[in-house]
Amino acid sequence: MSSNLTDEELAALMPSELCQHQTPIPTQIVSSDEFYPDPQNERQREVEARLLAMADDLGGKQGFDRRRFFQTAAGMAASFVAMNQVYGELFAVTPAEAATPAMAQERASALKDQFIMDMHTHFLRDDTRIMGFVEMRKAVGKAGWNTELNDHEQTIEDLKFNNYKKEMFLDSDTKIALISSAPSDIEQDWFLTNEQMADARKKMNDEAGSRRVFCHAIFTPGQPGWLDKLDAALALKPESCKGYTIGDNTHKEISRYPWRLDDEKVAYKGYEKMVKAGIKNVCVHKGLFPPGIEKQYPNLRGFADVADVGKAAKDWPQLNFIIYHSAYRHVGGDPKVALAEFERTGRIAWTSDLADIPAQYGVNNVYGDVGQLFATTLVAEPNVCAALMGTLIKGLGADHVCWGTDAL
């Protein structure tokens, strides 16, 4: 997986003067390396201007400079107030919280012990050759999304186990994380092997003295020997299984074994084994296939949407089908395209199709994960984020929409 952006493009991503503001939430989109993001647009500029003005006014009254104000709960509240002013009333926040640190702190404190399970996380094996994510972390730092990533030159070590442990459990509020992976037709280019996921789970849980980490077993329908490999993986007692219907997502150009969830002759043989092994949850990578990617890999297009989910869910009521990225097509693409589509039709590809499945098929075992789509749309086009959440909650139910970040 190589970055599609040149070093020059990466360097130009961020007007450097913005980074110095260190606003609590970023005020422009960041690339996921598959498309070149717009520079900060009109409305994002307006959010930033309002936020800086509030910091001077409200922070000033408390005797805080901008930097200090942005570190407080009131500074965070101010960010959402500014976004409400520009995008419409999307966030449950009051101007009083932005003006009154004690009030904002009260809300923050009330939330701080909530249970957070991140059901979609990754790190890379020690001998990985996959370097594209280093560029993504650099871009995230440069764009101001997470300025801590500018503290040191990002290297491949930042994508490995030690930093995973630090960022997931020491630097965030996450209580439980599920380690995932991505398969490849090239053995060495799996993010992690099934054994490596199980080893990491043991290492962390032993150290914690409690069950803080779950893990996937990846299954690869159609690859030679896949059923034997699934047997071996299930013997590791994974909490759940995960598959990529487009086959090799890392090397799409050579992906030889795409498959369908509703293929009775292939995938169903795997489900049979899973049910026997006591597996309940089957996670499936869907979406992340904006038009630019379709143009490059038209042969995989038919495996990226959710046309195969409904029948599989109906035929396998013993299993849950958890659709990663909620099949949102435009992850890694331009959220403006999704906004225009939603305004024109009231739908967003392919998340609306996912949300239709329970009513269409009379099933209750289909779930949506918000990995990547929540964070990127919240910042870049919060109305798209609201539309996605509303669509998912209405169609799948509030308890069928799952928290996942897709970090590191």
Q: Contact positions toward Zn ion, by CB under 5 A?
A: 406
Q: Which residue is nearest to Zn ion (CB)?
A: 406
CB of 324 to Zn ion, least distance (A): 6
CB of 326 to Zn ion, least distance (A): 13
Question: How many residues are recorded in the chain?
Answer: 408
Cβ pair 123, 164 in contact under 8 A? yes
SS3 labels along 10-75: HHCCCCHHHHCCCCCCCCCCCCCCCCCCCCCCHHHHHHHHHHHHHHHHHHHHCCCCHHHHHHCHHH
Helix %, strand %, coil % for the chain, to 5?
A: 50, 10, 40
Q: Which phi and psi angles does 243 have, rounded to 5°?
A: -135, 160
Looking at beta carbons only, is 262 or 406 nearer to Zn ion?
A: 406
Looking at beta carbons only, is 144 or 183 nearer to Zn ion?
A: 183
Report the alpha-carbon distance of residue 154 to residue 164 in Å, rounded.
14
CB of 120 to Zn ion, least distance (A): 6
Nearest to 49 by CA among 69, 78, 6, 88: 78
Looking at beta carbons only, is 192 or 339 nearer to Zn ion?
A: 192
Report the alpha-carbon distance of residue 217 to residue 233 in Å, rounded.
6
Looking at beta carbons only, is 70 or 164 nearer to Zn ion?
A: 164
SS3 labels along 142-169: HCCCCHHHHCCCCCHHHHCHHHHHHHHH
CB of 70 to Zn ion, least distance (A): 30
Looking at beta carbons only, is 54 or 370 nearer to Zn ion?
A: 370
Report the alpha-carbon distance of residue 255 to residue 186 in Å, rounded.
10
Looking at beta carbons only, is 34 or 406 nearer to Zn ion?
A: 406
Looking at beta carbons only, is 386 or 408 nearer to Zn ion?
A: 408
CB of 286 to Zn ion, least distance (A): 11
CB of 246 to Zn ion, least distance (A): 13
CB of 279 to Zn ion, least distance (A): 19
CB of 325 to Zn ion, least distance (A): 8
Report the alpha-carbon distance of residue 182 to residue 244 in Å, rounded.
8
Looking at beta carbons only, is 79 or 174 nearer to Zn ion?
A: 174
Cβ pair 13, 143 in contact under 8 A? yes
CB of 8 to Zn ion, least distance (A): 28
Instruction: Give how far the C-alpha of residue 251 lies from the chain's centroid of Cα atoms, to the nearest Å.
Output: 20
Q: Which phi and psi angles does 77 have, rounded to 5°?
A: -60, -40
Looking at beta carbons only, is 66 or 122 nearer to Zn ion?
A: 122
